[in-house]
Amino acid sequence: MIYPTIRVDNFFKKFDLVKQWANSLEYLPNEGTYPGNRTRPIHEIDPLFFQNTTRKIAAILFPNDYVHMSWRANIHFQKTDPKIYPGPGFIHQDQHALEFATILYLDGDVEAGTSIFRPKGISVDREGHVAFKSECYKNPEMMKTDEFKQAVHRHNSQFEELACYHAIPNSMILFDTGLDHGVKDCGTKERLTMVAFFGFAERDRRENKSLKYPLIELARCST
């Protein structure tokens, strides 16, 4: 891991307007890689909102550098109805995103936050359930079956919980995409989140200064 897990309160200054806007957007059919439905990438809908929001996220990790940085990222709003997608979900990593991810909570039950886990043993099967999971996300009726519940239990029992972040409205968590995470309790209310995935972040090379990463600097200290 090169990024620490960080929780931020009151992320958006105009939270109610963002939530209202998120609710007005169109949510696309499930693609099988996550539970629920997501909007199109936000940079296609409102490039300025995307730029300002990713800049603010970059400022959390790189307060001295973000004004001299470039990054590649994706933001989507995501709705998950627990009546259609009941919890708990499969514990997973977001490694397709390569660097770090954020989840901002807009609506839903406070208990329907995100937990961070670590493997209990030395061998973890992170791939065995993926095809079945994808089929279930596309056909959510399958998530009500014992087969699904048993598959989640079998997979999740490989991990132990380290921390649980509640879904406090306008709070956000940021974490390394290599971290195991998942939703323990989806609650009863529709869950609305804004998810962001950063696939690349770099300091402008013309400045001739390298980017420092919090956990890498920590590992370099002798004590």
Kindly list the residues in this chain that would bind Fe ion in the complex (CB under 5 A): 94
Q: Which runs of E-coded beta strand occur in the chain?
A: 6-8, 37-38, 69-80, 100-107, 114-119, 159-165, 172-176, 180-182, 191-203
In the complex, least distance from residue 211 CB atom to Fe ion, rounded to whole angstroms: 24
- Longest CA pairwise span in the chain (Å): 57
In the complex, least distance from residue 114 CB atom to Fe ion, rounded to whole angstroms: 8
> Measured from the CB atom, is 42 or 103 closer to Fe ion?
103
Give the separation between CA 176 and CA 12, rounded to whole angstroms.
22
Phi, then psi, of 180 in degrees rounded to 5: -75, 130
Q: Which residue sits closest to Fe ion, CB atoms considered?
A: 94
In the complex, least distance from residue 92 CB atom to Fe ion, rounded to whole angstroms: 6
> Measured from the CB atom, is 34 or 148 closer to Fe ion?
34
State the residue for tokens 């962001």. 196
> Measured from the CB atom, is 35 or 86 closer to Fe ion?
35
Give the separation between CA 136 and CA 25, rounded to whole angstroms.
25
> Measured from the CB atom, is 65 or 94 closer to Fe ion?
94
Beta bridge partners of 176: 100
> Measured from the CB atom, is 94 or 190 closer to Fe ion?
94
In the complex, least distance from residue 102 CB atom to Fe ion, rounded to whole angstroms: 11
In the complex, least distance from residue 37 CB atom to Fe ion, rounded to whole angstroms: 15
Residue pair 54/71 in contact (Cβ under 8 Å)? The answer is yes
